[in-house]
Amino acid sequence: MSVKNIRLEVMQFLEKNIDAFVDQYLIPVEDIWQPSDLLPDSRSETFFEDVKELREIAKELPYDFWVVLVGDTITEEALPTYESWLMDVEGVNQVDEGGNGWSKWVRSWTGEENRHGDLLNKYLYLSGRVNMREIEMTTQHLINDGFDIGTGRDPYKNFVYTSFQELATYVSHNRVSQIAKKFGDKKLSKLCKLIAGDEMRHHHAYSEFVHRIFQVDPSEMMLAFQYMMKQKIVMPAHFLRESGEKISTAFELFSDSAQRIGVYTATDYIDIMQKLIDKWDISKITGLTDEAEKARDFLMKLPARMAKISERLVIPAESHIFKWVEPATLR
User: In the predicted model, what is the mean pLDDT of residues 263-282?
Assistant: 97
pLDDT tens digits for range 14-27: 999 999 999 999 99
pLDDT of residue 312: 83
pLDDT tens digits for range 206-235: 999 999 999 999 999 999 999 999 999 999
The whole-model pTM stands at: 0.95
Looking at the predicted structure, is the pLDDT value of residue 4 above 80? no
Determine whether the annotation assigns residue 202 to a binding site.
yes
pLDDT of residue 16: 96
Residue scoring higher pLDDT (313 or 188): 188
Determine whether the annotation assigns residue 204 to a binding site.
no
pLDDT of residue 329: 57
CA distance 327 to 331: 8
pLDDT tens digits for range 55-82: 999 999 999 999 999 999 999 999 999 9
Average pLDDT over the chain reads: 95
User: In the predicted model, what is the mean pLDDT of residues 304-310?
Assistant: 91
Q: Please give the distance of CA 200 from its chain centroid, rounded to a whole number.
A: 10
pLDDT of residue 327: 59
Told to judge if 238 belongs to the known catalytic residues of this protein, a careful annotator would answer no
Told to judge if 220 belongs to the known catalytic residues of this protein, a careful annotator would answer no
Residues 6+ apart with CB under 8 A from 77: 117, 120, 121, 139
pLDDT of residue 158: 97
CA distance 112 to 120: 14
Looking at the predicted structure, is the pLDDT value of residue 331 above 60? no
Q: Are 92 and 185 in contact (CB under 8 A)?
A: no
Looking at the predicted structure, is the pLDDT value of residue 292 above 80? yes
Q: How far is CA 228 from CA 60, 70, 91, 232, in A?
A: 40, 27, 19, 6
Told to judge if 15 belongs to the known catalytic residues of this protein, a careful annotator would answer no
pLDDT tens digits for range 125-174: 999 999 999 999 999 999 999 999 999 999 999 999 999 999 999 999 99
pLDDT of residue 328: 56
pLDDT band (50, 70, 90) for residue 98:
confident
Determine whether the annotation assigns residue 166 to a binding site.
yes
**Which domains occur in the chain, in start order?**
3-329 (1.10.620.20)
CA distance 22 to 111: 12
Told to judge if 242 belongs to the known catalytic residues of this protein, a careful annotator would answer no
Determine whether the annotation assigns residue 76 to a binding site.
yes
pLDDT of residue 1: 65
Told to judge if 50 belongs to the known catalytic residues of this protein, a careful annotator would answer no
pLDDT of residue 259: 94
Q: Write down the catalytic residue from 72, 154, 166, 208.
A: 166
Told to judge if 198 belongs to the known catalytic residues of this protein, a careful annotator would answer yes
CA distance 208 to 163: 9
Looking at the predicted structure, is the pLDDT value of residue 117 above 80? yes
User: In the predicted model, what is the mean pLDDT of residues 108-120?
Assistant: 98
